[in-house]
Amino acid sequence: MMSKKNVTKVILDETEIPRQWYNIVADMPNKPAPYYSPMTGKIATADDMAAIFPKEIIEQEMTSERFIDIPDEVREMYAQWRPSPLYRAKGLEKVLDTPARIYYKYEGTNATGSHKLNSSIPQAYYNKNAGIKRLSTETGAGQWGSALSLASNHFGMECTVYMVNVSYQQKPYRRSFMHTFGANVIASPSNLTNSGRSILEKDPECSGSLGIAISEAVEDAATHSDTNYALGSVLNHVCLHQTIIGQEAKKQLEMIDEYPDVVFACCGGGSNFAGAAFPFLMDRFKGKKVRAVAVEPTACPTLTKGVFAYDYGDTAKAAPIAKMYTLGHDFIPEGIHAGGLRYHGASSIVSQLYNDGIIEAQSCGQKEVFDAAVTFARAEGIVPAPESSHAIRAAIDEALKAKEEGREQVILFNLSGHGYFDFSAYDSYFGGKLENIHYDEQAVKASIANLPDIKG
């Protein structure tokens, strides 16, 4: 066994890539509430979803089996970069002068630079098997769009990406990345869909939101028979695919005889948090003591300030209606740099766990998040994505608390992606132009007043 005293990183052999995804639904005391169909107004059936998803994805969405086999073709693609490294944050511990031991799982070593590839590969695979020719999707920060572009290209499918307008402007190189893999990238809201046009009529300068981009992508898929839709977070099957992160991290920590007291991950739609935390919650359901904390931006504090209710997944009310923590489907958060965390809702599973007190949540302001990002970069030599930096902020605060209280603690966080495409944000930070951004309470109140009338 390696010694935790001296380890810098823990690497697993390729043969140790998990062979199954972990489905937390099997172990939840209260199962996530079923989706409702926006067309029928009733509980959504597999048939309702067949217009935009392939059969195997729908099955994964609805199953409560504990473990789902990962297809060989998917594992083979995972092997390009997985298992991903687990690091001991020695540099950061030194800077903080903390008695805590801080570990991070790093999902940025693959071509698209984030955890998103973990789900885009199986989604593309199942769609290809179903005879689909083209995938449509939305992207916020561009990470999911990049991941789906690469996976679609690999399996010989076309890919259309509706990219939230503010990110489209902020991150030209993300667009170029997707072009390199042959994708068609469109600024959202666009003139290509009914839902896009209706937004632009009201606000031609609309900065867009994930809710709007999802509407456009779903409409595109629903109106073209050779096209399916692929979502980068929120849904159960996406959370499922991401669980390889936490499974690997557990093995890696085991190799150095460690177990975390607390796991931090940033939370937008929730799949990144799910991926890091769920395999540890599996132990918690068996009595193990471990905390899992979802970290979100104060500009879009879904879990910490939202309501737990049925809401539309998108602005145009075309996607399944889910019971979740939500700020209301009409709420458009300010254009913060963590574009991947600007979603009004959260995964039904994550929401149910939060409501049941099984997980915790906290929110951080943009300025303090970048303080943490730069501290981390200088200490660890990795430039983190703004989204991931929310988890860093929380981990640093926890380590400083441990120092104050003079106690040892084992902290794990998921570094879900690197910040190579986010230097315009870092430039703003160094230029003194970044502030903590509070969400607009009136706007949320108004948006929550428009929730659909479904009691689940």
Where along the sequence are the contacts to its own copies (CB under 8 A)?
Answer: 8-9, 11, 13-14, 76, 79-80, 87, 91, 109-111, 113, 150, 153-154, 172-173, 176-177, 179-182, 374, 377-378, 380-383, 420-421, 423-424, 426-427, 430
Nearer to its own copies, 150 or 274 (CB): 150
Q: What are phi and psi of 325, to 5 degrees?
A: -70, 135
Q: Report the distance separating Cα 80 and Cα 287, nearest Å.
A: 35
Q: Which helix (H) or strand (E) holds 433?
A: none
Q: Report the distance separating Cα 440 and Cα 406, nearest Å.
A: 38
Amino acid at 347: S
Nearer to its own copies, 278 or 421 (CB): 421
Q: Smallest gap, in angstroms, from Cβ of residue 254 to its own copies?
A: 17
Q: Report the distance separating Cα 227 and Cα 230, nearest Å.
A: 10
Nearer to its own copies, 325 or 421 (CB): 421
Contact yes or no for 70/20 (Cβ under 8 A): yes
Q: Smallest gap, in angstroms, from Cβ of residue 421 to its own copies?
A: 7
Q: Report the distance separating Cα 5 and Cα 112, nearest Å.
A: 32
Q: Smallest gap, in angstroms, from Cβ of residue 27 to its own copies?
A: 32
Nearer to its own copies, 149 or 236 (CB): 149
Q: Report the distance separating Cα 94 and Cα 376, nearest Å.
A: 11
Nearer to its own copies, 81 or 308 (CB): 81
Q: Which helix (H) or strand (E) holds 323?
A: strand 321-326
Contacts of 26 (CB under 8 A, 6+ apart): 64, 65, 66
- Give residue for tokens 């019971």: 323
Q: Report the distance separating Cα 291 and Cα 333, nearest Å.
A: 28
Strands (E), 46-89: 67-69, 86-88
Q: Smallest gap, in angstroms, from Cβ of residue 207 to its own copies?
A: 22
Q: Smallest gap, in angstroms, from Cβ of residue 29 to its own copies?
A: 40
Q: Smallest gap, in angstroms, from Cβ of residue 272 to its own copies?
A: 20
Nearer to its own copies, 219 or 422 (CB): 422
Q: Smallest gap, in angstroms, from Cβ of residue 48 to its own copies?
A: 34
